[in-house]
Amino acid sequence: MNQPSLFAGGTEVLLDDASGYIVHALDVIPATTAAEWFARLRDDVPWQSDRRLMYDREVDVPRLRAEYRVDSPDAPDLLLQAVAAARTVVDAPYDSAGLNYYRDEKDSVAPHNDKLQFIREGEPIALLSLGDTRRMVIRAKQPPRRVLKVDMVPGSVLVMSYATQLHYNHGIPKQAAPAGPRISVAFRVRGETAYRS
Ligand SMILES: O=C(O)CCC(=O)C(=O)O
């Protein structure tokens, strides 16, 4: 398993025990770069609005999404730079970038764990944050249901080990306070697993 290296910009270890590790590395890219990447992704990505079944109704997924491969030199240059930045924190052979676009405080992602059938066993997930800060809530599945709250500041990379997906759910709740737009780029190692979750 890849263990995160110490990173000069400041690394907070939020969890490191038998249930896995979660590390938040700040200032992985400079603020000016984070702002530039945010604007380019917002303007250039063909964002998709998805629908999902909720009880007996179809509803909009409350954020926009896109997905790219990043294991080929043909991948968008910005995402190749972004995956290189994430790999300074944890050197996993990332091949997939899942992008989420939260337009305002009403957009969210419900508590979930990543679908492990679509991630190579043992490989960590790395989340690069761009745009406005949103709070992630990470909650243990078992009592006493420990809760971690992480302010996902632009330019940071949050690394969650594979094992944490068995023991914790994570989500970005809607919030009452106004929020500007945010983009997250979730790097995963899909390997030979089915590509799209
Ligand atoms: O936006 C984030 O930082 C979290 C995204 C997420 O949980 C996911 O893509 O599965």
Domains and CATH numbers, the chain: 11-188 (2.60.120.590)
Q: Which of 1, 22, 20, 67 is nearest to 11 (CA)?
A: 22
CB 99 within 8 A of CB 41: yes
Whether 114 lines ligand 1, by a CB cut-off of 6 Å, is yes
- Please state whether 123 falls in left (phi above 0), alpha (psi between -120 and 50) or beta: beta
**Token couple for 38:** 């945010």
pTM, rounded to two decimals: 0.93
Alpha carbons 77 and 172: distance in angstroms, whole number: 28
Q: Is the CB of 154 under 6 A from ligand 1?
A: no
Tokens of 67: 């997905």
The helix-helix angle for 77-86 and 31-44 (nearest 10°) equals 140
* Cross-strand pairs, 99: 66, 185
Q: State the closest ligand 1 atom to the C-alpha of 129, by its place in the atom list counted from 1.
A: 3
**How confident is the prediction along the chain (197 residues), in pLDDT tens digits per residue?**
455 554 445 899 999 999 999 999 999 999 999 999 999 999 999 999 988 888 888 888 999 999 999 998 889 999 999 999 999 999 999 999 999 999 999 999 999 999 999 999 999 999 999 999 999 999 999 999 999 999 999 999 999 999 999 999 999 999 999 999 999 999 999 998 755 44
Instruction: For residue 32, report the distance from its CA to the centre of ligand 1, in Å.
Output: 23
The residue whose CA has the least distance to atom 1 of ligand 1 is: 184
98 lines ligand 1 (CB under 6 A): yes
| Residue with CA at minimum distance from ligand 1 atom 7 | 171
Here the tokens at position 75 are 């991948």
